[in-house]
Chain A
Amino acid sequence: MSGLSLKNVSKHFGMLEVIHDLSLDIADGEFAVFLGPSGCGKSTLLRMVAGLEPLSGGEIHIGGKRIDALAPGDRGVAMVFQHYALYPHMTVRQNVAFGLRNIGTKSDEIARKIAAAAGTLEIAHLLDRKPAQLSGGQRQRVAIARAIVKQPDIFLFDEPLSNLDAALRSRTRIELARLHHRLRATMVFVTHDQVEAMTMATRIVVMNQGRIEQVGAPMEIYLQPATRFVASFIGSPAMNFLAATPTGDANGRIMVRLADGTTVATAIPAAALPASGPFTLGVRAEHVLPGAGSPARVDVVERLGERTLVHALANDGSTIVYDEPGDVAPAIGDHIQLTIDPAHVHLFDAAGRAYHADRIA
């Protein structure tokens, strides 16, 4: 068992607190993704797990054993860095063997492990090259091979795809997911790219300003964001946010009025909502439908191939984005009408806390 457990972990640099009393459990074999904007503390947290940043407070356990006082090399973790961090003066073979030699692995065992990893990652023909002779993708594979041969309890990835071009990033995503499936290892992956998080993670940890905003499966986070921050960070295009005023309830479900006077009957239980305060209605682009409803004017049209995003201006000046399948879309300046699917509406209170329908599928 090699699960990861963070207990009341905190980190501050001088007076600046970057990780706030954070607790988290990652199960054995999970592919957990720390997702958040730059500066949210996700890389710092990963480096704390790796032993590259000391903790200001709390404990870290791997497989039930406390490891936060151990040296990085003794924690049973392997890390793939953003810039690969290969040793430039060593060949690929020496790079991969370096860690094994340091722990006294016998030469024949090292050779066997290198051959196995090279076969898995298709780098056997690169073993005698230096890193400078490799492409970005090849370097990435070598960095992963260097991690694999150590057979760590936990793999740590610090934005390893950010230096790859779009096509290679997409391919490497798939390979990493395949690798995780094959190794059944616990992996922790840091990224600010929600696509990487959604496509690879078994569980996403959304972070903001040193705190965990939400932990959950990708679709759970997409469909039921815990906070307005999560709702805005996950999904492309970002969720539409409209000022809303509760006006009562119908059959126990809350009704709200938007700034342009439109009333929306949501599927959110009225009992769940606080008595007062300003609210924001959130709805994703795919749940805004053209048709009889609130008037709007087309402002921008973004054609993405399989679908088209239409940015429309409502009467009150707010922007609503919705998508049309394929290339069927109105022209800029057209007057249209939009309705909101009440089953997929979210409400957010002033503190950003989310309220959803009982069950969204």
Chain B
Amino acid sequence: MAAPHAMRGYRNGFGDRVLFVAVLLLAAIWIAPIVWVVGLSFKPNDVLMRSTGGIVFPPFTLKNYADILAASSVFHWMLNSAIVAIGQTILTLLIASLAGYGFARTNFPGKRMLFVLVLAALAVPEQAIIVPLHTMFAVVDLHNTYAALIAPRLAFPFGVLLMTQYFRAISPEIEEAALLDSASRFKVFWRIVLPLSIPAQATLGIYTFLHGWNDYFWPLVSATKPEMYTLTVGLAAMQTNFAQTEGIGFLMAQAVFAGLPVMILYLFFQRYIVSAVAGAPAK
């Protein structure tokens, strides 16, 4: 009887080791470009003009970062990005949660058709609607405003789908118990359903924030005045101006600078992301 157990244990141990090596390999492949970008950002541009290979050897410099900070508009663009990304996140969470709860828990005529329409929006490419969007915002004279940068991204079918599915997975009995506990429908949503959906809210919030922070296409179209540039558009504009003269180290520093808030955000909310992916909603 001992042999099969020993064999199974050996197999598990060997399998784990193979899996571990595979994961390490994938992680290395994944992280290599990031390490390279960070390494290049600390290298003098004149060195990089000759070779971009030796990132671990001196000389190193902080000049590329100092140059970014010296550009007075960078912090303003960062603020713009923050306003747009946070605004999109808050409003998307609110809209997707309410819509998701509506689809998950209420019955109304045309619900199924409306949900299909929401899902169908997933298949519409951004490029297909960019011209109509531009025209619409031009007609109401909203280009170069925060409203124009935020509003189009609030129609986020994936968010509605995610929240609908999550709310559906929460046991209706819990909400019924709250109704019997004299809670109003809004209180049930606010005190019971929303707290239970925190993992999904965190996932959607982070996803929306990242999307808003990294968004380039629509801000490029809508924000034509430099004071309304988001970080991505602003940095791209700087690259256009300086790429050939200032060098690759400066470009890499910009990339690191733009990605830093996102990285910090991920580290801060990592627990929620992992639990949202690994965990199931409360029954």
Cβ of B95 under 8 Å from chain A: no
Cβ of A50 under 8 Å from chain B: yes
Give the residues in chain B near A350, CB-CB below 8 Å: none
Cβ of B111 under 8 Å from chain A: no
CA distance A89 to B191 in the complex (A): 10
B282 with A72: CB separation less than 8 A: no
For the complex formed, measure the closest distance between the CB of B186 and the CB atoms of chain A, giving whole angstroms: 12
B173 with A87: CB separation less than 8 A: no
Cβ of B183 under 8 Å from chain A: yes
A87 with B283: CB separation less than 8 A: no
CA distance A146 to B182 in the complex (A): 13
Cβ of A295 under 8 Å from chain B: no
A52 with B187: CB separation less than 8 A: no
Cβ of A314 under 8 Å from chain B: no
Number of A-B contacts (CB under 8 A): 63
A98 with B196: CB separation less than 8 A: no
B180 with A79: CB separation less than 8 A: yes
For the complex formed, measure the closest distance between the CB of A346 and the CB atoms of chain B, giving whole angstroms: 40
Contacts A83-B283, A88-B196, A88-B282 given: A98-B173 contact, CB under 8 Å? no
Interface bin, chain A:
20 to 34
Within residues 261 to 283 of chain B, which ones have a CB less than 8 A from any CB in chain A? Answer: 282-283
A83-125: CB near B (< 8 Å → 1, else 0) gives 1011111000000001100110000000000000000000000
Interface size on B, residues (CB 8 A): 18
B195 with A71: CB separation less than 8 A: no
Q: Which among A74, A78, A88, A146 has the greatest number of chain B C-beta atoms within 10 A?
A: A88
Contacts A52-B176, A81-B176, A89-B196 given: A98-B171 contact, CB under 8 Å? no
Give the residues in chain B near A62, CB-CB below 8 Å: none
A102 with B283: CB separation less than 8 A: no
CA distance A308 to B248 in the complex (A): 89
Give the residues in chain B near A150, CB-CB below 8 Å: 181
Residue of A nearest to B176 (CB): A52
Residue of B nearest to A147 (CB): B180
B181 with A73: CB separation less than 8 A: yes
Cβ of A138 under 8 Å from chain B: no
Cβ of B192 under 8 Å from chain A: yes
A85 with B173: CB separation less than 8 A: yes
Cβ of A82 under 8 Å from chain B: yes
Residue of A nearest to B185 (CB): A71
Contacts A81-B173, A83-B283, A87-B174 given: A50-B180 contact, CB under 8 Å? yes
Cβ of A77 under 8 Å from chain B: yes
A140-169: CB near B (< 8 Å → 1, else 0) gives 000000100010000000000000000000
Q: List 24 A-B contacts (CB under 8 A).
A: A52-B176, A52-B180, A71-B179, A71-B182, A77-B180, A79-B177, A81-B173, A81-B176, A81-B177, A83-B283, A85-B176, A86-B174, A86-B177, A87-B177, A87-B178, A88-B174, A88-B196, A88-B283, A98-B178, A98-B191, A99-B182, A102-B182, A102-B187, A146-B177
| 6 closest residue pairs by CB, A with B | A73-B182, A99-B181, A88-B282, A85-B173, A85-B177, A102-B182
